[in-house]
Amino acid sequence: MGSRTRREFLQISGIGGVVFASGLLQACSRLGGRPDPGPAVADDFYFVQLSDTHWGYKGPANPEATVELPRAVELVNALPQAPDFVVFTGDLTHTTDDDQERRRRMAQVREHLARLRVPTLRLMAGEHDASLDRGAAFQEFFGPLRYSFDHKGVHFVVLDNVSDPKGILGDAQIDWLSRDLKPLPKSAPIVVFTHRPLFDLKPDWDWTTADGTRAIDVLHAYPHVTVFYGHIHQEHHHQTDHIAHHAARSLMFPLPAPGSQPKRAPLPWDPAHPGRGLGLRDVDTDPRQPAYQLREIPLATES
Amino acid sequence: MRFAGLLLALLAAADNPGERVVHMVARRFTYLPDVIELQLGIPVIIELTSADRDHGFSVPDLGIRIDVEPGKTARVRVVPDKLGAFDFHCDVFCGSGHEEMAGRIVVSAPAAIGGNSGH
């Protein structure tokens, strides 16, 4: 990235629509276009979060259901700089009882994602991908359900709260999380990817993880933790103490704000504004702060 | 958190002679009935069976959650201690349509309750 941060690059390039959100105080200095406090560093990087494509969905909430994933791939490939990686926070496919059809949908998603011009893809399951077969097909196509990796000073953890149809993490995974974090210094920047929210966002809409507070308790010992998730098909930001939780938009249909309507039915399709409410996100990361700057990228032009 | 102001006394598989029993059937992607009318302070046994596969019965605002499995009868005893309408839903993913599998418990004052959809 040379001597210029990506943030400066975006400003110079006129890439607009920057939406800032971060639970980290250090990042607040970046609000309102104020200059960065520190020098540009080579370790700055960014990644893109895609979520909830529900490939295979057929219904009134999106009559153009085959358009959105290819469009998202185009948008990522058109970014002025390629992200270091793309993470897909679950529900790549819409569920089906037919195992063959599930695999057909996963194969199609894989073909589309193969067109992404990015160095690395990080994939994880949603309940639509994994709950009916406990993740068997997903693992065949996309790999493990939970894992961790390090990238330029940030420790990333992918948690599986979907392959158990009860939407839990389970004892074994909580233990695994504790063991995974144990070698890290307390100051380590940690990013967690999950599909469902780890906290009780709206339990009567099933927007929760039944044992998610146990994971939050484990993470709580580390002061620099940020969680990115999907499932609720909308941008949403929440804090549990010092831990920030950021939900991403869907690539298929938007869902209502928590509690804004009696049922969690998808928002109706608007033929005058196809794709409204859908989108992806890029996350600018500075491991040295650590700080994250989120940019929401609408799938369609939103007026 | 979600257990604040909760209905009291959840009791699995208890026999309580004389108490009203509400029978419910869970099947993809509905409950029958999907509206349960209860009376404030009157104990009720909610009894659930599954007509097809594993389901859940979760009423977060009342702190109730049980598994509903084929071939078994799940029971929960509740004593409503507050008035209002409380949504329940299936929290065991059961397929396309799972998100719509929901219903409501309505707790009324004893004098106000009308017909009974639960017997």
> Strands (DSSP E) along A56-177, which ranges?
85-89, 121-124, 147-151, 154-158
Q: How confident is the model at residue B112 (pLDDT cuts 50, 70, 90)?
A: low
Q: Do B60 and A203 touch (CB under 8 A)?
A: yes
Q: Do B91 and A166 touch (CB under 8 A)?
A: yes
Report residue A280: phi and psi, to 5°.
-135, -175
Cβ-based neighbours of A112, under 8 Å, separated by 6 or more: A55, A69, A70, A73
d(CA A116, CA A93): 18
Domain locations in chain B as residue ranges: 20-108
Residue B4: per-residue pLDDT:
33
Domain locations in chain A as residue ranges: 43-259
CB A138 within 8 A of CB A95: no
Residue B113: per-residue pLDDT:
53
Which of A57, A128, A206 is most worth mutating to test chain B (most B CB atoms within 10 A of its CB)? A206
Q: Is the pLDDT of residue A56 over 50?
A: yes
d(CA A293, CA B117): 52
> Strands (DSSP E) along chain A, which ranges?
45-50, 85-89, 121-124, 147-151, 154-158, 190-193, 225-229, 236-240, 243-247, 279-286, 291-298
Report which DSSP code applies to A50: E
Residue A97: per-residue pLDDT:
96
A231-286 pLDDT, tens digit each:
999 999 999 999 999 999 999 999 999 999 988 899 999 999 999 999 999 999 98
Residue A11: per-residue pLDDT:
46
Q: Do A263 and B100 touch (CB under 8 A)?
A: yes
Contacts of B92 in chain A (CB under 8 A): 165-167
Residue A273: per-residue pLDDT:
93
Cβ-based neighbours of A266, under 8 Å, separated by 6 or more: A59, A61, A62, A233, A253, A254, A255
> Which residue do the tokens 């990506």 mark?
A6
B92 part of contact set with chain A, CB < 8 Å: yes
Amino acid present at B65: R
What is the percent of chain B with per-residue pLDDT over 90, rounded to a whole number? 76
Least confident of A57-71, A175-189, B103-117: B103-117
Least confident of A23-27, A39-43, A92-96: A23-27
Please name the residue of chain A whose CA is at the shortest distance from the CA of residue B54.
A165
Expressed in angstroms, the distance from the first to the final Cα of chain A is 32
B87 part of contact set with chain A, CB < 8 Å: yes
Q: Is the pLDDT of residue A82 over 80?
A: yes
Please name the residue of chain B whose CA is at the shortest distance from the CA of residue A163.
B93
CA of A254 vs chain B CAs: smallest distance (Å) = 14
Q: Do B89 and A206 touch (CB under 8 A)?
A: yes
d(CA A299, CA A275): 6
Contacts of B54 in chain A (CB under 8 A): 165
Burial of A157 (0-12, 13-18, 19+ CB in 10 A): buried
Fold of B20-108: Immunoglobulin-like (2.60.40)
Q: How far is CA B5 from CA A209, B43, B57, in A?
A: 21, 16, 19
Please name the residue of chain A whose CA is at the shortest distance from the CA of residue B94.
A132
Contacts of A204 in chain B (CB under 8 A): 58-61, 87-89
Residue B11: per-residue pLDDT:
40
d(CA A219, CA A238): 15
Please name the residue of chain A whose CA is at the shortest distance from the CA of residue B96.
A95
Q: Is A197 helix (H, G, I), strand (E, B) or coil?
A: coil
Mean pLDDT of A1-9: 48
> Which residue do the tokens 């009791």 mark?
B11
B1 part of contact set with chain A, CB < 8 Å: yes
What is the percent of chain A with per-residue pLDDT over 90, rounded to a whole number? 81
Contacts of B100 in chain A (CB under 8 A): 263, 265
Q: What would the DSSP string read from start to end of B61-75?
A: GGTEEEEE-TT--EE
Question: Beta A225-229 vs A243-247: how paired, if at all?
Answer: parallel
Contacts of A210 in chain B (CB under 8 A): 65, 91
d(CA A59, CA A82): 33
A192-234 pLDDT, tens digit each:
999 999 999 999 999 999 999 999 999 999 999 999 999 999 9
A106-156 pLDDT, tens digit each:
999 999 999 999 999 999 999 999 999 999 999 999 999 999 999 999 999
Contacts of B2 in chain A (CB under 8 A): 200, 203
Asked casually if ipTM beats, i.e. exceeds, 0.90, the reply is no
Query: How many CA atoms does the CB half-sphere of A37 hold within 13 Å?
Result: 12
Contacts of B56 in chain A (CB under 8 A): 166
Mean pLDDT of chain A, nearest integer: 88
Q: Is the pLDDT of residue A25 over 70?
A: no
Please give the structure tokens belonging to residue B112.
Answer: 């106000």
* The model's pTM: 0.86
Report which DSSP code applies to A186: T
- Class level of CATH domain A43-259: alpha beta
Please give the structure tokens belonging to residue B15.
Answer: 């026999």
CB A125 within 8 A of CB A162: yes
Mean pLDDT of B51-56: 98
Least confident of A94-103, A292-301, B51-60: A292-301
Q: Do A95 and B96 touch (CB under 8 A)?
A: yes
Residue of B87, B99, B100 with shortest CB distance to A204? B87
Considering only residues A87 and A289, tell me which one the structure prediction assigns the higher pLDDT: A87
B56-102 pLDDT, tens digit each:
999 999 999 999 999 999 999 999 999 999 999 999 999 999 999 99
Reference B54, options A207, A166, A203; nearest CA is A166
Beta bridge partners of B56: B67
Q: How confident is the model at residue A39 (pLDDT cuts 50, 70, 90)?
A: very low
Residue A263: per-residue pLDDT:
87
Q: Is the pLDDT of residue A103 over 60?
A: yes
